[in-house]
A and B are shown apart, each in its own frame.
Chain A
């Protein structure tokens, strides 16, 4: 019963990765129990963005203090699949101001599962990999049990005040999880103590999950997340977010099997609706008043079975979804009595996808393992108001169906304390809604209006990866490399025809396929336990991206480093870290980049754990960017400066 209890914990699909057999379902419990908490070494109360940033695969494009766009393997979100428990959700903002990560909150997530390259093709076709945000879900328990936590804090730089609350109830038949959170922040100040205007945000998030055990081996679970962000400023943009709302719902049925080939069958239907309303009512300096509302509605199905036979374990997943993306722009003339000007930036574009993914894990020996898999997907697009697309691409088809295959394999070898892996992958992806059907989407980074091309070819990735590591009791070190050769790499190129529509823009770019582009990522991670209570950790990453003419690709992170020391003694903990990027040598003027100088940021924090009547509480206080460095990173739009010195405090109570 206990086994089932934890397995009902839902999305822990580690079964197939473990070399364990069925009889060792309890092993699953362990993996489930040690799942990563949503906190970083430095800070226990982090936003989802800050947490993602602590992964070496992830970097961010930042347009302000809120809703950072995660780049996986230095590739933008079109090239990765971002899902919540396997559910596909698509942002409703043409300017990518609402990555999926902005619609969840750290207190409704259990962990974030990042897979690099084609290994991430379980959730659908991808090039860069997948980011799956896994929600919290409490296990069934024999005894009735209430648990909860509450976290509050204040950050001085932008006067951010946040309150996060969680509560869960579990019994042998019924489980409920609830969370609620609210964050409110004002403008932050940069390293020169200058206020960065339009960097405020307000976010409310709540979630509810109810699970019912329909039989000893099956359960039904319904989940909902509701997220509202209001009055969010984007200093790097000429517009702000007035309101965004997301409703993310799902109903899942899970069936376990005690014996036989099939071990777990997990199916889920889902629906999510996102509204995102940008306007510029707070920017009186703008020449044109403009509204840019967007809507994205998706429904779909995920169904997954886990099979185990001898030393082979397999996972088969069916993904199907239907998305409708709509984005409007309405410009107001200076003389408001005149007629407003209207166009669609996403002319009611439907995307349908259905694909089957398989991942197998074969244990050769105790020491070596082969993982191999693939997927085949069908992607269909339809543009309702195709007239918009015909303006630049006369006669382009209104509908387009693409076949998206993917293959991947890797070999893992463990020899005493050493571990090695080599792998390869091949995969296609379809152009995103913007790349295929976007219409005058203003990009404030290079200040061009972007036009989608419905006839773009599939992007095809050939990928190789390898890693080597050494793990000892006192230390560990691991190096990872990957290389992507991407055929038909989609990027914006200046069009000789047409003229800009947005008054800030300088021209029109069309999404075009380069013959190919190449991307190389390297990371080195080391850990050393200097003393029992003193740990050191260091990370180094390097990436290089080049197009078919050996020019630099944009948004490639320069050499970056992070090093941290942690000291824990009894109820006290002290952490300090230094991180930074070297100067961006390989920048790309062609894509609107300028050279970003190097920067270094030093952070420190201390925490104290105490008990109030058996209620475990932690108080933390710290400072980020202690030296008040004035800097912006390679991926900050408009070179807006990052936050200066920030003192943060937080209190967490678990009951």
Chain B
């Protein structure tokens, strides 16, 4: 019987000794991705008895696409200001050259009467640093009176690579911007890919009083197509791609929607070709489909890297 007792002890010991744990998949997906759902005040301004609250996701402005919500309150009556004509203009000043530029944004904000805020966006093209200073200029009207106010803001590094952006000069000589809007947290799955595509409108008139919005005009590119070809750039993945992706086309909200499939977590490159309504290529090149193990995947002229 001793033998059996010994066996039982051996069994218990060997069964309980440690091995590899299963991967916590939900934690795995969170590892390099921060996801923000909540709008918080990023900056507040005060002028002539009005208080203006500028809200962004997590209360932070990031490089890339930022949805912006503005709330204006008359501090004397403590009543929100409804249905006003509100404009927003982000400006970037380089203290070296004293050159001022802007970035893609919605100048005339849209009033959301349900939740009583003014909705807009800005695609900040760089982070704030001592040499490059971002400011927002806001104007609104109340009782036939127009108020203008401006304040420096802080644009931070976007750590979530799934909200990266790209700025480039198209083959037509125009300046374009592509900014990823969603998904913030991709999955190993079919993902709806949302991007904003913008264009700088060259001023046609001489500059008026600063800040003259006509000098800083951007528009949403309409009816273009953004051809999509996702790849894994990692050399060992040999230019791996995924099936069943859909090119991005513009929907009613002005943004571009498509489908990207990520077959595993890690670094991915979204290779793009931007075509105008006539099918002419504005930017981007085809990526070879060769399987090239050991060589870093080739990229299109136009691409955005993501990571999850």
Contact = CB atoms under 8 A, between A and B. Distances in A.
Contacts of A261: none
Contacts of B189: 387-388, 390-391
A380 B266 CA distance: 33
Nearest to A247: B15
Interface stretch (A186-194, A328-336, A524-532): A328-336
A497 B190 contact: no
Contact of B236 (A245, A293, A333): A333
A503 B294 CA distance: 8
9 contacts: A206-B11, A208-B7, A288-B236, A391-B188, A495-B243, A499-B289, A501-B264, A503-B237, A503-B293
B14 A391 contact: no
Interface stretch (A131-139, A338-346, A486-494): A338-346
Contacts of A150: none
A498 B264 contact: no
Contacts of A167: 3
Nearest to A330: B23
Contacts of B7: 178, 180, 206, 208
Interface in A165-189: 167, 169, 176, 178, 180
Q: Which 9 A-B pairs have the closest CB atoms?
A: A387-B189, A341-B266, A497-B243, A343-B264, A288-B236, A503-B293, A498-B243, A499-B241, A342-B265
A440 B267 CA distance: 18
B211 interface: no
A501 B237 contact: yes
Interface string A289-322: 0010101000000000000000000000000000
Interface string A213-247: 00000000000101010000000000000010101
Interface of A: 167, 169, 176, 178, 180, 206, 208, 210, 224, 226, 228, 243, 245, 247, 275, 277, 287-288, 291, 293, 295, 326, 328-331, 333-334, 338-344, 385, 387-388, 390-392, 394, 440, 495, 497-501, 503-504, 506
A390 B190 contact: yes
B4 A178 contact: yes
Given A338-B267, A385-B25, A497-B243, 10 more contacts: A178-B3, A178-B7, A208-B4, A224-B11, A293-B20, A333-B235, A342-B28, A343-B188, A498-B241, A503-B294
B234 A338 contact: yes
Interface string B3-24: 1100110110011000110110
B232 interface: yes
Interface in B234-286: 234-244, 261, 263-267
Nearest to B8: A208
A206 B241 CA distance: 46
A242 to B, nearest CB: 9
Contacts of B266: 331, 333, 339-342
A394 B293 CA distance: 28
Contacts of B234: 333-334, 338, 341
Given A180-B7, A391-B261, A500 B240 contact: yes
A331 B236 contact: yes
A392 B244 contact: yes
Contacts of A497: 243-244
Nearest to B262: A391
- Which of A210, A495, A497 gathers the greatest number of chain B CB atoms within 10 Å? A497
B190 A387 contact: yes
Nearest to B190: A390
B147 interface: no
B220 interface: no
Contacts of A495: 243
Nearest to A228: B14
B307 interface: yes
Given A226-B15, A343-B263, A501-B237, A287 B244 contact: no
Interface of B: 1, 3-4, 7-8, 10-11, 14-15, 19-20, 22-23, 25, 28, 31-32, 187-190, 232, 234-244, 261, 263-267, 289, 291, 293-294, 307
B264 A499 contact: no
A440 B60 CA distance: 40
Contacts of A392: 243-244
A277 B18 CA distance: 13
A26 to B, nearest CB: 31
B190 A277 contact: no
A503 B235 CA distance: 10
Contact of B263 (A210, A275, A293, A440): A440
A277 B20 contact: yes
Contacts of A498: 241-243, 263
A326 B23 CA distance: 10
A180 B263 CA distance: 44
B238 A503 contact: yes
Contacts of A275: 19-20
Contacts of B240: 499-501
Contacts of A228: 14
Given A206-B10, A287-B236, A341 B23 contact: no
A186 B293 CA distance: 32
B190 A394 contact: yes
B15 A287 contact: no
Contacts of B238: 500, 503
Nearest to B189: A387
B250 to A, nearest CB: 22
Nearest to A333: B234
Contacts of B293: 287, 503-504
Contacts of A503: 236-238, 293-294
Contacts of B241: 498-499
A277 B19 contact: yes
Contact of A341 (B14, B261, B265): B265
- Which of A243, A275, A503 gathers the greatest number of chain B CB atoms within 10 Å? A503
Nearest to B28: A342
Contacts of B291: 499-500, 506
Nearest to B191: A387
B263 A391 contact: yes
Contacts of A245: 14, 19
A208 B11 contact: yes
B19 A341 contact: no
Contacts of B263: 343, 391, 440, 498, 501
Contacts of B232: 341
